Amino acid sequence: MSGVFGSKVKRKEDPRLITGQGTYTDDVKLPNLAHAAILRSPYAHAVIKRVDVSKALEHPSVLAVFTGKDIVQKIGPIPTAWLPPDSDIKTTAHYALAIDKVRYVGDGVAMVVADDLYAAKDALELITVEYEVLPAVVNQEAAMGKMAPVVHEDAPNNVAFHWQAGDATDEMFANAPVHVSHRFVQQRLIPNAMEPRSSVAQYNASTGSLTMWLTSQNPHIHRLLLSGILGLPEHHIRILAIDVGGGFGSKIACYPDEALVGFAAMELGVPVKWTEERRENFLVTTHGRDMILDVEVAGEADGTLTAIRVHNIANMGAYLSTAGPGVPTILFGLIVPGAYRFAHAKVDVYGVFTNTTPTDAYRGAGRPEATYVLERIVDLFALELGMDPVEVRRKNLIGADEFPYHTALGLEYDSGNYQQSLDKALGMVKYEEFRQEQEELRSQGRYIGIGCTTYVEICGLGPSQVAGAVGFQGGLWESSTVRVHPTGKVTVFTGASPHGQGEETTFAQIVGDRLGIPIDDVEIVHGDTDRIAMGWGTYGSRTTPVGGNALAIAVDRVIEKARKIAAHMLEASEAEVEFQNGIFYISGHESGTVRQVTFQEVVLQAYLAWNLPAGVEPGLEGHSFYDPVNFVYPFGSHFCMVEVDRETGEIAILRYVAVDDCGRVINPMIAEGQVHGGIAQGIGQALWEGAVYDDRGQLLTGTFMDYAMPKAHFFPEFETAFTETPAPQNLLGVKGIGETGTIASTPAVVNAVIDALRPFGVRDLDMPLTPEKVWQAMQKGSVSA
C-alpha cells in the first residue's frame, strides 16, 4: 500500500514472539532427541595429560563421550574467515575439542551425549582430566612481551597479525602546531544476547543429509563453514535459524560446539541438541572490544585537525574467531578519521593471542572503538586549545557540499549533511543554556557535564569486490526472491537473517509500498538455506541497505513482468501502462477509469497462462542478487548530559539526545527502537559493563551478579530525532541504523562525564566509569574554579 513506506507500522513478528509462539532453536523437539553437554577447561592454560571418560560411559543414559583425540581425524578445524591482507596472519589450528592443550577457561575438552539432558550434565562430573597448569597471559600488551607465556607455538610473541593502513608520518605530528596524544582502553564486553546459543542436528543416513537448527546471524555462512568442517557437501546440509533472540555479533561465528553437535548426530544416528547455559555464554560465546589504543592528532592553532594516527593492540583471545581479525583492522581502521576533514591518517594494528575467550564482532564491531578514540581525542584537542568541543567539531566536519567525500584512508563517503544534524541536536539540547547552568551549579559544588559525538559510520557491508580486497572470505552481496502466488499474496525469500531487528515488518513495507498491496499479504522468509538460494546474513547494519535493496530490485522485476501482461490485457503497449497503488492503468487516464487492471488480476492471468503475450513465460517471480557499489555512511549527532555525585562518584544521566540520519526511514518506530537499544548498550559500555579476568585467566565477571548489564531504570527517556539524507547509491535511499546507537553513545557519555569533572583536572578515565573510579578521580583532583 502506498504510504506504508515511512510509517510506524507495528511489528508483524511481535504477536508470535510475545505469546511464546516463536521457534527458537531450543524449542525444536524431535523424536529420540539426545542431549549434549560439554566439559570445559577450568584452567586458562594447561597441558592435557590424560582424559578418562570410562566412568561417564558407564552412566546408563550416556550414548557417547567424545574427546579431542576422538574427533581430530574425523572433523576439520574451525576456520577463520576474515584474513586481513598483508598482515602475516597466523591462523593456528583450532579444533572443536582441545587435543593437547587448553587455551582459555571454557575451552572444550570433552562432549557427552546422553538421552537425557540431566544425565548429560551429571556425566560431565564423571570425567577425569589431568592437567598440567601453565602460566597464563590475559593482557594483550603483556602477551607481546618477551617472557610471556606462548598461547600457540606457531605464533611466537603471540602476535596473530599486524595490519597497517594510511600515510600519516612522524613528521606530521612532530611538526604540528598542536599535537595531542592519549592512550585509551576499550574494555572487554560480553554481548549477552537474551537467547543463549543452541544447536540441534538431525542426520538422515539414507540421503546423507544433515539438518541443523542454529542460533545464527548467517545460516549460509554457517552452511559453508560446517560443510568444510564436517566434510559433507554443501547441498546436503540445511541450516535453519527460524527465530533468533538477538545476536549483537555473537552469533556470526561458527563455534566448536556447533560442529560437534553436527558430528555427533552423524556419528550416533540420533538427533542431538546442545543449548548453552548462561554461564557458558559468559565463558565461550565470543566477547567484544578489548583494545589498547594509542591515539595522536595533529592540528592547527585555530582548531583545524590535520592528521590522526592510532596504534591498536587488539586482544583476539585464544583463537581467531570467524570474523575476529576483521574487527580491529578493517572495520576499526578505515573509519578512524570519522566525520572530519583529516588530510592524513595512519592505523597500525596488532592482533594478539591471549588465554581468554576469543573476541569477534560486537554491535558496531570496530566502529564504536574508532569513534570512541576519535571523539575523545577531539575533546582533548579542544581542551588543549581552550576551545569549545562543539566549535572544534563544527570547524572540522565535512561540508554538505563536499560529498561524495574521499577520506585519507580511501573510503568514499556517499552523502551527508553533518552540520544540519549538529544544529538540530544543539537545538534540542539548548546547549548555551546548559553551559550557563553548569557554571552556576559548579559554584554550588554541583557538577554537571555535557558531551557529544558527531559521528559517521560505515555500514551496509558491502561491495563484494571490497570484501575480497580486505580479506573477507566471502561475498557481501545479498539475494532476494519475490514469489507472487496466484491470488496475489507474496512470499519473500531473503538471504539476510534478521534476529530481532524487525525486517519481517520493514521488508513487508518495502513490498507493500512497491506493489500496492497490504503488508499482511506479504510473508518474509529468512533463515533457511533450503528455501533461500544464498545469502550472507545479518551484521554490519547490512540487512536493509543490502538485503532491502535486493528485495526492492526483485519486486521491481515482478512489476516489470506484470506490466507486460497488464499491457497485453489492456491491449496497450507496455510503455503506455502505468502502475500505482496496485493498479495498472493507461497513461493519460486517471486510475479508476475502465482502462485499468489490478495487480491481483494480472497475477492470476500470469498463473492461468490462458492468454499471455508472446515470449512471456507463466508464473510471477522476481529474483535479485544485489551487490552494492559502495558502503553506506549513516551519521548523526548525539549529546549526553550528566550529573556527577560529588560524594559517591555516581553518574546520573540527565538527558540523552540523539539525532541520526540513516537515509530514508522505512519504519520510524523500528528505527527509533534500534537507536534506543544501541544507546542503552553503548552507555552500558561507558558506565557499567566490563569483563575482567584475573591474572590466571579466570573470568571474574562470569555471571549477571558481577557483570552489570544495564537495566531500563538506569536510563532517562531518550530524546531521538532523525534527519533524512537519502543514500544516493541505492534504490531505496536507505542506510543502516542497527549500530549507530552503540557507536555514538559511548563517547558522548564519557565526554559528558569528563566535562563534568573538568574542575577536578580530570583528563580521562578508563571505562566503565564506575562510581569508585570517578570518586577517586575527584579525590585526587584539585577543585579549580
Partner 1 sequence: MIPSAFAYERASSIREAIELLRASGGEGKLIAGGHSLLPMMKLRLTSPDTLIDIAGVEGLRAVRVTGDRLTVGALLTHDQIMTNPLVREKLPILAETASQIGDLQVRNRGTIGGNLAHADPASDLPAVALALDANLQVVSVEGSETYAAEDFFLGPLITALPENSMLTGVSFAIPPAHTRGVYEKFAHPASGYAVVGVAAVIGVNQGQVNYIRVAITGAGDVPYRAHDVENTLLGRPLTPATISDAAKLAAEDGVMADDLFASAQYRAHLCSVYVKKALLRASRIE
Question: Which residues would be at the binding site for partner 1 (CB under 8 A)?
Answer: 117-118, 121-122, 125, 277-279, 647-648, 687-688, 692, 700-701, 703-710, 714, 770-772, 775-776
Of the pair 228, 771, the CB lying nearest partner 1 is at 771
3-class DSSP assignment, residue 729: coil
Distance of CA 570 to the CA centre of its chain: 49
In the bound complex, what is the minimum distance in angstroms from residue 700's beta carbon to partner 1?
Answer: 6
In the bound complex, what is the minimum distance in angstroms from residue 769's beta carbon to partner 1?
Answer: 11
Q: What number of CA atoms fall less than 13 Å from residue 555's CA on the CB side?
A: 30
In the bound complex, what is the minimum distance in angstroms from residue 698's beta carbon to partner 1?
Answer: 12
Are 284 and 39 contacting, i.e. CB atoms less than 8 angstroms apart? no
381/350 Cα distance (integer angstroms): 26
Of the pair 30, 692, the CB lying nearest partner 1 is at 692
Q: Could you give the strand order of the β-sheet that contains 718-722, starting from the edge strand earlier in sequence?
A: 447-456, 635-644, 651-661, 718-722
Length of the chain, please?
A: 785
In the bound complex, what is the minimum distance in angstroms from residue 779's beta carbon to partner 1?
Answer: 9
603/713 Cα distance (integer angstroms): 51
What are the start-end ranges of the E strands in 151-270? 159-166, 178-189, 198-204, 209-214, 237-240
Of the pair 125, 617, the CB lying nearest partner 1 is at 125
Q: How buried is 15 (Cβ within 10 angstroms: 0-12 exposed, 13-18 middle, 19+ buried)? A: exposed
Are 143 and 352 contacting, i.e. CB atoms less than 8 angstroms apart? yes
Of the pair 171, 772, the CB lying nearest partner 1 is at 772
Place of cell 572470505: 473
Question: Grid coordinates standing for 234?
Answer: 554443501
Of the pair 182, 646, the CB lying nearest partner 1 is at 646
> What phi and psi, each to the nearest 5 degrees, are found at residue 322?
-45, -55
How do strand 209-214 and strand 237-240 relate by DSSP bridges? parallel
In the bound complex, what is the minimum distance in angstroms from residue 384's beta carbon to partner 1?
Answer: 31
DSSP string, 755-771: HHTGGGT----PSS--H
Of the pair 444, 611, the CB lying nearest partner 1 is at 444
Are 357 and 286 contacting, i.e. CB atoms less than 8 angstroms apart? yes
Which residues partner with 64 through β-bridges?
113
Of the pair 285, 723, the CB lying nearest partner 1 is at 285
Of the pair 419, 701, the CB lying nearest partner 1 is at 701
Of the pair 406, 704, the CB lying nearest partner 1 is at 704
3-class DSSP assignment, residue 300: coil
Q: What share of the chain is helix, strand, coil (3-state, %, to 5)?
A: 30, 25, 40
In the bound complex, what is the minimum distance in angstroms from residue 709's beta carbon to partner 1?
Answer: 7
Of the pair 21, 703, the CB lying nearest partner 1 is at 703
Of the pair 18, 700, the CB lying nearest partner 1 is at 700
Of the pair 158, 275, the CB lying nearest partner 1 is at 275
176/180 Cα distance (integer angstroms): 10
In the bound complex, what is the minimum distance in angstroms from residue 685's beta carbon to partner 1?
Answer: 13
How do strand 46-52 and strand 34-40 relate by DSSP bridges? unpaired
In the bound complex, what is the minimum distance in angstroms from residue 673's beta carbon to partner 1?
Answer: 23
In the bound complex, what is the minimum distance in angstroms from residue 277's beta carbon to partner 1?
Answer: 5
In the bound complex, what is the minimum distance in angstroms from residue 783's beta carbon to partner 1?
Answer: 17
In the bound complex, what is the minimum distance in angstroms from residue 63's beta carbon to partner 1?
Answer: 18
Which residues partner with 39 through β-bridges?
110
339/700 Cα distance (integer angstroms): 37
DSSP state of 320: -
In the bound complex, what is the minimum distance in angstroms from residue 707's beta carbon to partner 1?
Answer: 6
List of residues 6+ apart from 439 with CB closer than 8 A: none
Place of cell 569549545: 388
